[in-house]
Amino acid sequence: NVPPGADGSVHFASTAASPGRVVPRAPSSVAAPSAPLGSVDPMTSPAGPAPRATKLTTRTPEDVLAAVPVVLGFVPQDSVVMLTFGARSAFHARIDLPPPEQAGEAVEALLEPARRHRVRRVVFLLYTEDARRAERVCRALVAAFERAGVDVVEALRADGRRWFALL
């Protein structure tokens, strides 16, 4: 499987904002609630123009694995990450890695938005030490996405020390 792009590279935009200046301060003795219990306040927009998306180029599995925390804004654990390419609006997703018997739910959670956004290609990254679990979930994802006409460019498992090809 060769990643998309004439030069064998994959390009995607980071959805994580660049870290701002960090100012340490002593914690208050009692934290005040940010909102009444059961309510959710809307997020506010930053003052000024929105940050520009960062274009990342990856050519190897190591590059893709290094890019995921930049794209998501955190290092995933016990997760399935889907990087999408060729969609009308770019997006990437992370879900909890399900037990193999619930792989259908993972397929549904990832395939529906991929179809809605007309994704043409995906890369799956499964973060777990459990090789058997990752392989079974990956097989379900690959089969469903390929039946839906979405090319699975690559699928990798990372256990925190090494990565393994799943395709």
The distance from CA 8 to its chain's CA centroid, rounded to whole angstroms, is 20
Does residue 52 carry a pLDDT above 90? no
User: At 147, is the secondary structure helix, strand, or coil?
Assistant: helix
The secondary structure of 41-76 as a DSSP string is PPPPPPSSSPPPPPEEEE-SHHHHHHHHHHHHSS--
pLDDT higher than 80, residue 128: yes
Which helix (H) or strand (E) is 109 found in, with range?
A: helix 103-116
pTM of the predicted protein model? 0.71
Q: Mean of the per-residue pLDDT values for the chain?
A: 79
d(CA 101, CA 89): 31
pLDDT at 14 over 70: no
Instruction: Give the mean pLDDT of 103-130.
Output: 97
